[in-house]
Amino acid sequence: MLADYEARSRYLSLALDARRVMDLLLAFVQTGERAPRLLLSVREIVESLQSMGSTESLLASLQNRLPYRNYEQISALDEVVGVEDRKLLAEKLAILIAEGGDRQLQTQSAQETIRILYEIESRALHRFNEPGSSQFTAALAV
């Protein structure tokens, strides 16, 4: 039961992280201002996406405590983004944090990223809520 709880909590963590970044991106789209938390969050996501490419970089990311380093989080990302699209997503995110970048391009990138993060959040919540562990559901009800 503990292993099931830990796995499901990782899915929930991924969904909450995606929602937090979506909220920051939405504020950016609406106001044009990048909150300091947005820059930090986007940098961490970009580093995580780039670190998923090789074993060496994955091990380095585990030591640096980057987000998206657990099996559950990586598998949910792979279902939505896929291995080949990670680089594209990292590039879209890098556009957002580039100083003096084209505002229209940044807004478009933010909107596309919101759509992708929404899919990631949905997939993670689906995985979190998957039936199959009545013990987990009972533990939450207590």
Q: How far apart are alpha carbons 56 and 80 in whole angstroms?
A: 24
pLDDT in tens, 77-110: 777 877 777 788 888 888 888 888 788 999 999 9
- Cβ–Cβ < 8 Å for 25, 113: yes
Q: Which domain holds residue 93?
A: 2-141
Overall number of domains in the chain: 1
Q: Would the pTM of this model clear 0.85, i.e. be above it? A: no
User: Which tokens belong to 15?
Assistant: 């969904």
pLDDT in tens, 1-55: 556 778 888 888 889 989 999 999 999 999 988 888 988 888 888 887 777 654 4
Q: Which helix (H) or strand (E) holds 121?
A: helix 103-128
pLDDT at 72 over 50: yes
Which amino acid, 141?
A: A
Task: Give the model's confidence band at 56: pLDDT under 50 very low, under 70 low, under 90 confident, else very high.
Answer: very low
Contacts of 127 (CB under 8 A, 6+ apart): 8, 11, 72, 76
Predicted local confidence at residue 88, as pLDDT: 82
